[in-house]
């Protein structure tokens, strides 16, 4: 994939194929559910798992002698070790081994590292046949496609599709039924396993202390491929090497839980050396090829080096809202999905990473990643580089200027509100700025939050001191919301100030304007500095504002101020949680039943909506969390943009959530995010309110 236009037309084509999107979505939804269930069932402490695994990967990356030690040990075990700088060196080596062994067939286990260097095609060009032995990988190979997903290469294929492919390509004559397909494929593969002279695998982990390679598979093919042929060739990325065995269990568990919701992958094989079989020592060889292919360069890059910590579990794909609709053939180059964006940009070049436009900056990939890799910020960097190369899209420029536009609209309200609703101006906005006219836009208030609170008594400060951070919505659109929050804080004994903060700057991150985002972060941190040093907390009704303070600001403006701001920032309901019992809460509406609650993406990793739902329940509502496990599709301003990569994709993502809301029987919905409420309301017709608007506080 190269151009933006091509990307748009490919998204359009996928959106028109309801069968494809349904298969893709169901597959990802099942994976999300498996992970969720496994975490619950096995009592996994996700936070701890992330911390420990990250520590292992970071310490491995910092150890400059690790690869050398691993290679030395592998050689000591009798392996032939090659440190390959490029894919071509790998291909040359494998070809040489195959010619010497007089082998024209190579059997393989699924490996993204070999995909990265186009292993199969390169060797096939040289007259060697590569046969994939992982079922999903074999299916995509037979279908002449690339894997659509890191872990589930054929996630987009139904049982019927698979039966059709194996019958057409292998003449198996099987029914479209799981068992029949498996039996048929097994019968096809068995003689190949037994006759092949060369087996190629990747390596999930390399262990330097013993020169061992860990191979994880669920189908047992990894064991056959690595042991039945006389020659076993491992192609492993240099970033997969760790120092010692005690670092392995955490990574294996983290991989299995995140990839497929298993406590452990079915077959975890440790290959250290090839001892002669039954006294035969002839021809039993092990080759370990350690691939660089741009990794050393990536390791030196402060923005992209985190990508090297990836353990290829695929969890970021399972949770990514837009990937879950369009799949990895559109949302990917060779490496698909969220982590595929920085990986592609670094290994294959920025021009191949145009699919970064499909990232809506929901942040969920970081939240789910077992290594806590900051994928969204790496993607923001890719977007910045793409913008520098090709220029900014007009719609992205428009929405990245949201604060200026909000200020103008507020100053000119109510005229601006009238203008934003006329057919002609919406038509012009769509044509000129790419703002989809089907999307309703929020109204602007002439009075800003500060004006609304003028003359009101501050809290006595007995409970503490707070900086209230309204961001755009609670300042320019609905200052009553911000005022309600400030009044509650004051009634609880907090002294509340509203210094002259800018917006959070999230759209700058979303649209690759990192320099502008950094300037906003630096400005806000400068304003916050004296307050933070005096012990103030920062509180916001907008989860995105807190998300920015706790995450992106630390990357955009690293230092003491951003660390302090991250540690002292809270969403409104999280902050008042301990004092909630002191409030007399009553409902403002008779909902006649449940309130459906939606958790905004940026709040998932912060509070998961726990305190906001408790607030509603305390007021007497019966709250039911309605969710698909991913984004509602709106994603800030993404769903306001016109066309396939905007409104159309946004509504396609939201469709399943809309269905769940309609089926929930809720007549009222609640969410803390202003943009999510627009999306849910437009997709369902259900009235959606901020929790503060549903409760009278006495």
Contact assessment for residue 371 and residue 408, using Cβ atoms and an 8 Å cutoff: no
User: Rounded CA gap, 147 and 328, in Å?
Assistant: 8
Rounded (10°) angle between helices 248-260 and 46-62: 130
Among 312, 357, 426, 555, binds ligand SF4 (CB under 6 A): 312
Structure tokens at 231: 């020659």
β-pair partners for 670: 597, 689
Give least dist CB 47 to ligand SF4, A. 15
Q: Return the residues of window 399-428 that contact ligand SF4 according to CB under 6 A.
A: none
DSSP character at residue 512: T
Q: Is 322 in the site for ligand SF4 (CB under 6 A)?
A: yes
Structure tokens at 437: 């006219």
Task: Give the shortest CB-11-to-ligand SF4 separation in angstroms.
Answer: 13
Angstrom CA distances, 82 to 450, 512, 579, stand at 66, 39, 62
Q: What are phi and psi of 233, to 5 degrees?
A: -115, 125
Q: In terms of CB distance, is 384 or 613 closer to ligand SF4?
A: 384
The sign of the CA dihedral 244, 248, 249, 250 is positive
Q: Give me the least distance between CB of 675 and ligand SF4, in Å please.
A: 14
Site for ligand SF4 in 223-262 (CB under 6 A): 258
- Residue 390 zone, left/alpha/beta (φ > 0; ψ -120 to 50; rest): alpha
Least Å from the CB of residue 230 to ligand SF4: 33
Question: Is residue 113 a contact residue for ligand SF4 (CB under 6 A)?
Answer: no
Nearer to ligand SF4, 375 or 576 (CB): 375
Side by side, which strands form the sheet with 494-497?
494-497, 464-468, 537-540, 569-571
Footprint of ligand SF4 on 584-643 (CB under 6 A): none
Contact 130, 142 (CB under 8 A): no
State the pairing for strand pair 569-571/537-540.
parallel
Contacts (CB under 6 A) with ligand SF4, residues 554-583: none
Kindly state the smallest distance separating residue 93's Cβ from ligand SF4, in Å: 27
Quick one: 414 or 608, whose CB is closer to ligand SF4? 608
> Is the Cβ–Cβ distance between 495 and 460 less than 8 Å?
yes
User: Minimum CB separation from ligand SF4 for residue 302, in Å?
Assistant: 18
Number of residues that bind ligand SF4 (CB under 6 A): 31
Q: Is 12 helix (H, G, I), strand (E, B) or coil?
A: helix
Contact region for ligand SF4 (CB under 6 A) — 227-235, 316-324, 346-354, 650-658?
A: 316-324
| CB nearer ligand SF4, residue 287 or residue 383 | 383
Per-position x/- string for 143-182, each x denoting binding to ligand SF4 as judged by CB under 6 A, each - no binding = -------x--------------------------------
668 binds ligand SF4 (CB under 6 A): no
Minimum CB distance to ligand SF4 smaller for 111 or for 477: 111
Q: Does 330 bind ligand SF4 (CB under 6 A)?
A: no
- DSSP H/E element including 206: strand 205-207
Figure out which of the listed residues 174, 189, 316, 680 binds ligand SF4, where binding follows CB under 6 A.
316
Q: Is 310 in the site for ligand SF4 (CB under 6 A)?
A: yes
Residue 201 β-bridge partners:
234
Q: How far apart are the first and last CA of the chain?
A: 58
364 sits near ligand SF4 (criterion: CB under 6 A): yes
At residue 64, the 3 state secondary structure works out as: coil
Burial class (CB in 10 A: 0-12, 13-18, 19+), 65: exposed
Q: Is residue 339 at the binding interface for ligand SF4, with CB under 6 A as the rule?
A: yes
Burial class (CB in 10 A: 0-12, 13-18, 19+), 229: buried
Provide the minimum distance between the beta carbon of 371 and ligand SF4 in the complex, in angstroms, as a whole number. Answer: 5
Write out the H or E segment, with its range, that includes residue 678: helix 674-684
Select from 67-75, 307-315, 400-408, 548-556 the region that touches ligand SF4 (CB under 6 A): 307-315
Three-class DSSP category at 151:
coil
Beta carbons of 669 and 680 less than 8 angstroms apart? yes
Whether 319 contacts 337, CB under 8 Å: no
How many Å apart are CA 648 and CA 639, to the nearest integer? 8
Which one of 19-27, 313-321, 424-432, 684-692 is the stretch in contact with ligand SF4 (CB under 6 A)?
Answer: 313-321
Q: Is 359 in the site for ligand SF4 (CB under 6 A)?
A: yes
Strands in 439-518 per DSSP E: 464-468, 494-497
- Based on the shown chain and the rule CB under 6 A, indicate whether residue 315 belongs to the binding site for ligand SF4: yes
For residue 522, the minimal CB distance to ligand SF4 (Å) is 23
Q: Is 507 in the site for ligand SF4 (CB under 6 A)?
A: no
Q: What CA–CA distance (Å, rounded) separates 667 from 664?
A: 9
- The structure tokens listed for 137 are 């990988």
Q: Which stretch binds ligand SF4 (CB under 6 A): 262-270, 355-363, 444-452, 592-600?
A: 355-363
Q: Applying CB under 6 A, which of residues 56, 369, 532, 539 lies at the interface with ligand SF4?
A: 369
In this chain, which stretch among 38-46, 237-245, 260-268, 375-383 interacts with ligand SF4, using CB under 6 A?
375-383
Indicate which single residue of 365, 441, 549, 668 sits in contact with ligand SF4 (rule: CB under 6 A). Answer: 365
Q: Which is nearer to ligand SF4, 54 or 448 (CB)?
A: 54
Of 66, 128, 320, 378, the one binding ligand SF4 by CB under 6 A: 320
Smaller CB distance to ligand SF4: residue 197 or 312?
Answer: 312
Region binding ligand SF4 by CB under 6 A among candidate stretches 41-49, 240-248, 367-375, 483-491: 367-375
CA dist 592 and 580 (Å) reads 24
Pick from 362, 467, 525, 689 the residue near ligand SF4 by CB under 6 A: 362
Q: Which residues bind ligand SF4 (CB under 6 A)?
A: 150, 258, 310-316, 319-323, 338-339, 359-365, 368-371, 373, 375-376, 379
């Amino acid at each position: 994939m190269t151009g933006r236009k091509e990307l748009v037309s490919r998204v359009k084509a996928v959106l028109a194929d309801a069968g494809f999107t349904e298969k893709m979505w169901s597959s990802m939804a099942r994976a999300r559910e498996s992970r969720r269930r496994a975490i619950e069932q096995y009592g996994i402490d996700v936070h701890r798992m992330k911390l420990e695994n990250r520590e292992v990967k970071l310490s491995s990356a910092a150890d400059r002698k690790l690869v050398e030690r691993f290679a030395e040990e592998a050689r000591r075990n009798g392996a032939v070790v090659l440190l390959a700088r490029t894919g071509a060196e790998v291909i040359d080596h494998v070809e040489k081994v195959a010619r010497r062994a007089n082998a024209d067939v190579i059997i393989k286990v699924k490996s993204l590292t070999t995909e990265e260097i186009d292993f199969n095609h390169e060797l096939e060009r040289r007259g060697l046949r590569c046969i994939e032995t992982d079922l999903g990988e074999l299916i995509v190979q037979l279908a002449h496609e690339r894997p659509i997903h890191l872990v589930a290469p054929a996630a987009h294929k139904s049982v019927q599709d698979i039966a059709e492919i194996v019958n057409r390509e292998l003449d198996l004559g099987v029914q479209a039924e799981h068992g029949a397909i498996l039996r048929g494929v097994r019968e096809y593969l068995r003689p190949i396993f037994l006759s092949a002279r060369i087996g190629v695998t990747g390596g999930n982990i390399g262990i330097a202390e013993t020169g061992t390679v860990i191979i994880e598979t669920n189908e047992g093919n990894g064991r056959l491929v690595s042991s039945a042929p006389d020659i076993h060739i491992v192609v492993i990325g240099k970033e997969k090497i760790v120092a010692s065995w005690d670092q392995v269990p955490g990574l294996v568990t983290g991989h299995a839980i995140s990839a497929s919701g298993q406590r452990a992958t079915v077959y975890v094989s440790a290959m250290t050396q090839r001892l002669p079989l039954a006294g035969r020592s002839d021809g039993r060889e092990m080759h370990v090829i350690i691939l660089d292919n741009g990794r050393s360069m990536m390791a030196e890059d402060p923005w992209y080096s985190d990508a090297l910590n990836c353990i290829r579990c695929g969890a970021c794909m399972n949770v990514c809202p837009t990937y879950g609709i369009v799949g990895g053939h559109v949302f990917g180059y060779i490496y698909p999905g969220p982590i595929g964006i920085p990986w592609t940009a670094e290994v294959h070049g920025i021009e191949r990473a145009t699919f970064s436009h499909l990232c809506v900056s929901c942040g969920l990939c970081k939240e789910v990643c077992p290594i806590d890799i900051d994928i969204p910020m790496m993607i923001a960097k890719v977007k910045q580089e793409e913008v520098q190369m090709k220029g900014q899209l007009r719609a992205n420029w428009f929405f990245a200027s949201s604060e200026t536009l909000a200020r103008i609209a507020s100053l000119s309200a109510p005229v601006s509100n009238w203008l934003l609703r006329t057919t002609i101006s919406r038509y012009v906005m769509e044509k000129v700025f790419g703002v989809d006219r089907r999307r309703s836009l929020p109204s602007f208030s002439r009075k800003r939050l500060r004006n609304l609170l003028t003359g009101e008594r501050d809290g006595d400060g007995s409970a503490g001191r707070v900086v209230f951070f309204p961001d755009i919505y609670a300042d320019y659109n609905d200052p009553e919301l911000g005022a309600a929050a400030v009044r509650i804080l004051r009634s609880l004994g907090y002294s509340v100030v509203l210094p002259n903060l800018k917006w959070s700057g999230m759209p700058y991150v979303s649209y690759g304007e990192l320099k502008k985002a950094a300037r906003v972060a630096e400005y806000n941190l400068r304003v916050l500095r004296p307050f933070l040093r005096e012990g103030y907390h920062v509180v916001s009704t907008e989860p995105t504002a807190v998300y920015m303070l706790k995450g992106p600001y630390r990357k955009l403006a690293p230092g003491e101020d951003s660390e302090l701001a991250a540690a002292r920032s809270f969403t409104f309901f999280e902050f008042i949680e301990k004092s909630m019992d002191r409030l007399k809460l009553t409902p403002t509406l008779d909902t006649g039943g449940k309130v459906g609650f939606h958790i905004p993406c940026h709040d998932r990793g912060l509070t998961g909506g726990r305190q906001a739902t408790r607030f509603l329940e305390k007021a007497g509502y019966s709250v039911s969390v309605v969710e698909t496990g991913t984004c509602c599709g709106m994603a800030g301003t993404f769903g306001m943009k016109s066309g396939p990569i905007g409104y159309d994709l946004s509504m396609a993502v939201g469709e399943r959530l809309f269905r769940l809301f309609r089926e929930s029987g809720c007549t009222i919905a609640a969410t803390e995010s202003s943009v999510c409420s627009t999306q849910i309301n437009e997709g369902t017709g259900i009235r959606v309110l901020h929790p503060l608007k549903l409760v009278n506080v006495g």
